[in-house]
Structure formats: structure tokens, C-alpha cells
Structure 1
Amino acid sequence: MVEKFSGPSYQSLLLRLFWLTDDGEHKELFTGTGFIVRGDPGSKTPLYLITNRHILSGRTAEGGYVHKHSMIPTHISIAHNKGSGLARTGDLVEISQDLYDASGLPLWLEHPKGFVVDVVALPIIEFEAGHNQEATFYPYELARVGVPKPELSPSDTVQIVGFPFGQTSYRSLAIWTTGSIASEPTVGYGGYPRFLVDARTREGQSGSPVIVHTTASTPPMRFTDGSMRSHPGKSYLLGVYSGRIFKAAGGRTDVSDIGIVWKAGVIWEIIKRQLRRPLPSSSEYEEAKPALVGDL
């Protein structure tokens, strides 16, 4: 039987974050979600893993630690799609990459506005000494400036495709969560390029692609150029899921079902600028606290 799956199910990648102990062992800290995009075809590393900054750095934009014991990841294991001729869609090959160079500088690229933007791009090591020859990459297409996109409004349906609690639906295939847009998507929420969604998400889904996915039953959609279009089976990348909004007071934390989505445009800005920065100090985190941050 020929297996046929929707592209986003295998375009989302399960991430496992590790800390290298003093005795040389890798201790798993937590999981997350990521996906691949292709940068400038003329660059030396045209493929990038896109995820949240708090997943790779282990710290939120306000300086809180993701891990309960304040451990910081040093390595990442990415569950890539297996690319051998006999592999089935959903088969995986786990490939580990360092998160820091020999000097301790993070290897991921950040947004020009710095760590308050919870999206990063990690260059994928391609075929270095046979490192990734078993992996096949299925990148999302980034919409270029000026190219018509779906015209979206509050209450429109979106999909968040990732790995809640590090779980898969089948082999390495992701789990789909359906939500609705909860803020005006054309304006920046909280002064940043992001919007809100109403969705029941859980730990492990941070870094997930947020998409509009069309099927044969999807009615034609209005695009930003005023046209009505129907493209069954096509997915449109809207942004990167970054966790839910919450309020901490009096020793308790109230977490809502409203989540933060960083707009896809920040991915282009990150790749274009190619900025690597040292980890912020505690005082820098204190001085640059954003209005709202998400959890895992």
C-alpha cells in the first residue's frame, strides 16, 4: 500500500535538546518543534532550521529558564526525514548539531531586534563528511515581499503542526492543532511583528509552523491582491508559534489558551542579516523585558 501524507505532517521536525554533562554524557532537557526553510540559494548554508530562541537558548525573552533546574542546552538532536531509497515518508534519522562554536558563541542567527524576538535560524550542516547523507529536507516556501498572500482576519482558521509533549502521531509525523486567529493579523501585537491565536496547545509545540492548509473541500480564499484563489493541498506559512500568554502573580501562574505567533517575515529578516550574538547577561534581560512572552 502506498502511503500518502499531507506535507506539513513531515515538514515539522521533532527537536530534542541536550546538555553535555561534566562526565561527557548528554542529558535530555526538553523537546520542541522546528521546520526547514531555504535561504539565499547562493549562500553557503542555504537550509535553516527555524524554531524559537527560547528552545535553543533555554531562556525566555525575560530571562526565565525553560528547564526547571536552569540547565542550558548545548546540543540539539533533529529528527530529520530519512532519505534513503527504501525509506517511507515519516521514517526518521536523528542528527545532532552543536549549538555553540569553540569560543562559546551561539551558532544560531538572531533577529536584528535581538533576543526579544523569539525566532532563530540554525544553519543546517549539509553532507559534511557524510553527516547528513541519509536525510531528506522538505523546506517551507517563504513568501517574497510583494507576492500575494491569503488575506486573513480574526476568527479565520489556522493550523499549528508540532509535537505536544514530544509526541508524534505516527512514526515521525507531527500532530495538528486547529485554532483561530485572535487578533488583527495585519498589525503587530504588543509592538512586535506577531499576532495571537486561540488554540489548545501544550509543551513541545513551541517552534511549530503556523499555517493555512487547503484541501479539496476548502473554498476559494481571498488574497491580498483582491483575487479569489483555490489551491487544494497547498500550505501557506503564516509564522512561528511561540507559546501561550500568561500572568504570574501572588505565587501562581495563570496560563491562557491564547498563543503568540511571530510573523513569517521575521524569518527573512533573520536570514538576510546573518547576525550571531553572545548570550545576554542577566542585566540585559532585565533591561529589555518585552510586554508579553510565551511559555513552552
Structure 2
Amino acid sequence: MNNEEARKIDLLSVVSLYLEPQVNNNILGSATGFVVQYGQMPYLITNWHVVSGRNPNSGKLLSPETGATPDSIRIFHHTAKLGEWIITSEALYDSDGNPRWIEHKLGRKIDVVALPLSELDKVKLYPLDLRLAESKIIPQPGMPASIIGYPFGLSNFLWPIWKTGHIASDPDVDFDGCPIFLIDATTRSGMSGSPVVLRLTHTYYSNNVQGLVSEGVTTKFLGVYSGRIHNEAEIGKVWKPKVISEILTGAKYRLT
């Protein structure tokens, strides 16, 4: 990919990464993740169920037929030349058998984890800027929500697929007592761990002024997608950005 082509790639398409949980080097499936930087440490953000191989609500195996749970995860990283990828494998457990990923203080109840990255030789990181969560757009039901990931493992030469639905519940109201809001979108397996964004052009309501604001393109990071709560209605869950901050704040104390 030449420099002119690289400039045409959306910055958020560069953020999403294709993941393959595996056990004993056998691939168990596919998922999505993205990197955030906290202090000097890069972390892979994805779902708890992706790294554990278990249902976060019941703790039961996601693959009861095989009983398999992942022991590592393959990450398709960018290299210094955009458009070329390198595959790394991050262990999910340390030498004592303890999970390397960092959970929320509420544990698996929050289906989001941060995995410290250690295998970064020849890797070029493109972390998601969490300040995008502070964009002045006020998200409202009915607004578009784009899930940037890999449905059924599909990609465009490893570039993610943007699937866009709509915000289906008031984002400021926690769903079922958890920091979640709902989206109405035709999401599929492989998209777990995808970043979800709101992107608007022209006009929107703002916290800073009364009435409508007219601008170009504005993007707001809405959270982390983690699957559907109702398959037939195609209603999915998005964990709010604050859970990432809470996980990383906890990581600071655990790693010092």
C-alpha cells in the first residue's frame, strides 16, 4: 500500500484488530479487539468471554462439546508499512497458570478485559484514543452506531468490516443494572470486542451550546461490543467506555 492509498484508510479501520483464540496452537474461533495505551503499557481490549472461553453470565463453557478454552490468542497486528500485517501470539496465562488479562473489579460481570501486550517485535501499534469518548456529541436513541470488526471472521484483506445499526436504548441509562446500552444491528459472531462509534456529519445537539451545531465529521467512541442479548430481535450490548478506564486504573495498582 503506497502513501496515497494509506491516507484514504479510515483511522478507526486501523484501530480494530483481528483475533484468533487458540489452544495448543489450534484455532478455536475469531474475535475482534483494539489497543489502548495506559502509561507506558499497551493493552489489548476485548471481551472476557473471548479470552476465557466461558459465558460471562453463567461461567459455563462456550464450547461444551469440546471443553476447549483458549490458552493464547493470535493477534493480527499492523507493521510499520500500513497494509502489511504480522501475527503475534500472546499467552493468556502466566507460568503459574494465572490469567494474564486484567478484569474489572466486578470480575466477569463486566465482559471486558485488558491484556498487557508483550510480543511486539516489528509491530506498529495504532491505539484507540479514549478521549474520543469525550466528544461533545450527545448520543441519543435512533442515532447510527458503527461496530468495526470481523463478522464470521470476514475482512477486506484484513481490514475490518463496518456494520452500522442504531442506538436502541438511552445511553445514559444503564441496562439491567450494568454500564451497558443497547444497539439494534445485524451483528454476528467474530465481532465480540469490537469498538463501537457514533459518527455524524453536519448537525447534532451539543453539551456546550444550546440548539444544533453544524460542523463536518465528528466521531464519538461509544464502547465495546460484546454480543447480542436477543438473537431474533438482533439487539446487542455495548459496554460503556468508563469500564476500560476503571480496568486500567485497577491495573496501575496491580502492576506497581
1:184 corresponds to 2:170: yes
What corresponds to 1:108 in structure 2? 101
For residue 226 of structure 1, report the CA deviation from its aligned partner.
3.5
Structure 2 residue matching 1:273: 3-state secondary structure: helix
What corresponds to 2:209 in structure 1? 226
Task: Provide the rounded CA distance (Å) in 1 between the counterparts of 2:239 and 2:161.
Answer: 20
What corresponds to 1:289 in structure 2? none
Aligned alpha-carbon RMSD (Å): 2.0
> CA-to-partner distance for each residue in 1:238-263, whole Å, 9 max, x for gaps?
100010013xxxxxxx6430000000
> 2:182, 2:238 within 8 Å by CA — same for their partners in 1?
yes
Task: Provide the rounded CA distance (Å) in 1 between the counterparts of 2:209 and 2:67.
Answer: 49
What corresponds to 2:245 in structure 1? 268
> 2:198, 2:221 within 8 Å by CA — same for their partners in 1?
yes
For residue 148 of structure 1, report the CA deviation from its aligned partner.
5.1
1:63 corresponds to 2:59: yes
For residue 236 of structure 1, report the CA deviation from its aligned partner.
2.1
For residue 135 of structure 1, report the CA deviation from its aligned partner.
1.1
What corresponds to 2:113 in structure 1? 120
Task: Provide the rounded CA distance (Å) in 2 between the counterparts of 1:59 and 1:231.
Answer: 42
For residue 144 of structure 1, report the CA deviation from its aligned partner.
8.6
- 1:237-276 correspondence runs (5 A): 237-246=221-230, 255-274=232-251
User: In percent, how many aligned pairs have the same letter?
Assistant: 38
- 1:186-201 correspondence runs (5 A): 186-201=172-187
Higher helix fraction (1 or 2): 2
> CA-to-partner distance for each residue in 1:84-111, whole Å, 9 max, x for gaps?
xxx2x33211111100001111001111
For residue 220 of structure 1, report the CA deviation from its aligned partner.
3.0
What corresponds to 2:76 in structure 1? 79
What corresponds to 1:250 in structure 2? none
For residue 30 of structure 1, report the CA deviation from its aligned partner.
0.9
> CA-to-partner distance for each residue in 1:211-257, whole Å, 9 max, x for gaps?
0134xxx113323333636353x5321100010013xxxxxxx6430
- 1:108-187 correspondence runs (5 A): 108-125=101-118, 131-143=119-131, 147=134, 149-169=136-156, 171-187=157-173
What corresponds to 1:7 in structure 2? 11
1:230 partner amino acid:
E
Unmatched segments (≥5 aa) in structure 1 = 21-25, 126-130, 247-253, 277-296
